[in-house]
Amino acid sequence: MKRKNSKSKINKILRFVGIALCILIGIAFGTVWFYSDSLPPTSELRNFTMRSGSEVYDRNGKMVYLFAFEKRKLVSLKELPPHLIDALVVTEDKNFFKHFGVDIIGNIRAIAIDIVRMDFSQGASTITQQMARNMFLTLDKRISRKIKEVILAFKIEREFSKEEILEIYFNKIFWGGQLHGVEAAALNYYGKHAKDLSLAESATLVGMIQRPNYYNPIKHAERAQARRDNVLERMFSSGVISAADYELAVSSPLRKRGSSMRQTSSDYFIEHIRLYLERKYGTDRLFEGGLRIYTTLDQDLSVYADSVLNEYLTGIEKRYNYPNKMADVSPNAFDINTKYLQGGLVLMENRTGFVRAMIGGRDFSHSKFNRMTQAKRQPGSSIKPIYYTAAVEKGYTPATVINDAEISLMGGDGKKWTPTNYSKKYYGFTRMRTAITHSYNVWAVKTAID
C-alpha cells in the first residue's frame, strides 16, 4: 500500500514537473516569437554598414582631420595587435570562443536578480550581446530589451563568424565623446593607429569600454591607470601574457599623446573647406560618406605661421600696453568680437596659387570667425591695378600725364565725395609711372572716370 502511495506521489510530481516544463517552454517560445517579429531580420544584420566619416589630408598625405557625426575610421581585425584582442576577450567575455552568443548561466542569474530587485540593471552581456545592443537596440534597462538582446545574439552568431563579430565590435564600440571604433580611439588618445598600440595602451582602451568618460585617460588619469592595471592583471591571470610582459606594462606611465584627429593650427583652414564641401555635397555626404579630401594645406607651415602670428601680436600687446590681452582670456570664452588684439594670415604659393596655411584668428576656440575669408573690408590701394589695367586698355601709357588736382564726385548716397592723396597734397601734372610708384589716389580715380 505504501509503495503504491509512494509511486503515485512520484507520478504526480513528475506530471507536475512535466507540465511546468511544457508551460515554461511554451512561454519561452511565445516570448521569442513575440519579440522576434519586431527585430531586424538576419539579412539586415548581414547588410548592416557602419557610417564612416570623411578624412582630410594635407599636402604630404597626412590625415589631419575627420568630419563625422560619429568619429570612426574602419579597420580590419587582422590589422589589430593580438594583445588588444586578448585584452577585450579576457575583460568583456572570457568564454567568447566557446559559447554561441549567450552566457546562459550568467543571463539566468542576471534576469533572476533583476526580477528580485525590480531594477533590471544586471549585466552578464557577452561581446555578441553588446554588439546586438549597440547596433540595433536602445540602452534602456527593461527586461524586454534584455530578451531582444539575447535573441539578436543568437541570430548574429548564426550569421557571423567569431572573427567577423570581433571586427564589427571593434569598429562599432563607443569610446567617449564622438569616438566610435578602436582606430578613432587610438588616433584620439594616443595619436597612433590601432595596429601600433602597445600592450599597456591596449589595456587602457579596453578598460574604457565599460564607462568611456569615467575612465578617460586624458581627464581622469588615476582612474584610467587603475582600470588599465586591472585589465592587465586579468590578462596575466588568464595566461595570455607573461609575467615579464605584465610587469613591464603595469609599470609603464599612462602615456597620452596629441590627437591626430583634433584641429590645431589648421582650425580655420579646416572650417573653410567644411563650409565649401557642405554646400557642394551636403551634410550627410560629408559626415557619413567616407570621402577622402586632399588639400593644399601644409601642416608644418601652418603650425609655424600660427606661432609667428601669435608671437607678433603678443609683442604688440605688451609694447603698447593693451588693456585686454589674449593671455587673460578664459580658455572657455567664445565671442566673435574678442576684446584682445586679433589678426590673420594667409600663406599662398606664388607659382601655383595653392593656399598652404590660413590663420583666421588667434584662437579658434575663442572665436570661429575667419578674418581672412569672412571679414568685409575696404580693398584700399589693392584695387588700383584694376583701374590702371582698364586705363592701359583705353590707350594710357606709363608716360601719360594727368593733372593730379582736387575733384569732387557725387557718391552713391547722393553726397559729394572728394578723393584725396594719403599725404593730403595734390601734385599737379603727373605721369602714370610716378602715380603708380607713389600710389596717388586722385590719379587712379581720374583714370576710372575718364
- Is the Cα torsion angle 46, 47, 53, 56 positive or negative in sign? positive
DSSP 195-240: GG--HHHHHHHHHHSSSTTTT-TTT-HHHHHHHHHHHHHHHHHTTS
The catalytic residue among 381, 406, 423, 439 is: 381
Q: Is 381 a catalytic residue?
A: yes
Q: How far apart are CA 204 and CA 181, in angstroms?
A: 14
Give the strand pairing for 63-67 and 54-57.
Answer: antiparallel
Strands (DSSP E) contained in 225-354 are: 292-294, 345-348
Give the active site residue among 52, 54, 70, 92: 92
Beta-bridge partners for 65: 56
Answer yes or no: are the C-beta atoms of 274 and 266 closer than 8 Å. Answer: no
Query: Residue 67 in contact with residue 54, Cβ under 8 Å?
Result: yes
Smallest CA-to-CA distance from 68 within 297, 295, 259, 285 is with 285
Reference 374, options 353, 363, 358; nearest CA is 358
Question: For residue 173, what are the contacts with CB-CB under 8 A and spacing of at least 6?
Answer: 130, 134, 180, 181, 182, 209
Per the annotation, the verdict on 163 as an active-site residue is no
DSSP character string of 45-57:
HHH----B-EEEE
Q: How far apart are CA 245 and CA 325, in angstroms?
A: 50
Number of helices followed by number of strands (H, E) in the chain = 17, 9
186 contacts 217 by C-beta, under 8 angstroms: no
- Per-state percent for the chain, helix, strand, coil, to nearest 5: 50, 10, 40
CA 268 → CA 273, 341, 344, 364, 370, distances in Å?
9, 17, 10, 7, 6
Active-site amino acid positions: 92, 381
